[in-house]
């Protein structure tokens, strides 16, 4: 693959995700083929496909997973993306309840304060 193809894959990952993924930049420092693979992975996961999940729904899923795994900083960042993609307050709350269901009520009490604070800041 030539340099132009490599730049297109990296550009595609940036357009699909909305920002240049750090993993792509790090991979590029290691190996060109590896960076292409990482960029392709981002594109495959986050690109909207016919009859597939919307970016909003994908972000709701990863938000619930981040919450249930107590990755609060990641959940806050994803919440910001959810605002961009037009998620409603109720959709976010439903995802939080799913996180409580899958991760346990103790996890819920751990991640909820930071999420509620960010929801208020973002005017959800």
- More confident position, 40 or 17: 40
Report how far residue 110's alpha carbon sits from residue 38's, in angstroms, rounded to the nearest whole number. 32
* pTM for this prediction: 0.79
Helix (H) or strand (E) holding 48, with range, is none
Residue 91, CB half-sphere, CA atoms under 13 Å: how many? 16
Q: In this model, does residue 5 exceed pLDDT 70?
A: no
Which tens digits make up the pLDDT trace of 83-119?
999 999 999 999 999 999 999 998 899 999 999 999 9
Distances (CA, A) of 70 to 18, 49, 76, 117: 24, 29, 11, 16
Please write the tens of the pLDDT for every residue from 27-58.
989 999 999 999 999 889 988 999 999 999 99
Q: Which of 102, 31, 35, 36 is nearest to 64 (CA)?
A: 102
| Token output for 31 | 């190996």
């Amino acid at each position: 693959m030539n340099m132009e193809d490599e730049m297109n894959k990296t550009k595609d990952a940036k357009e699909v995700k909305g920002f240049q993924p750090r993993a792509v930049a790090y991979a590029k420092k290691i190996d060109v083929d590896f960076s292409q693979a990482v960029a392709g992975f981002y594109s495959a996961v986050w690109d909207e496909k016919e009859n597939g999940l919307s970016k909003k729904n994908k972000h709701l899923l990863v938000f619930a997973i981040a919450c249930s795994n107590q990755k609060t900083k990641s959940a806050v960042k994803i919440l910001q993306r959810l605002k961009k993609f037009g998620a409603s307050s109720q959709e976010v709350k439903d995802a939080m309840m799913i996180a409580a269901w899958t991760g346990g009520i103790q996890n819920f009490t751990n991640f909820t304060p930071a999420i509620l604070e960010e929801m208020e800041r973002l005017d959800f």
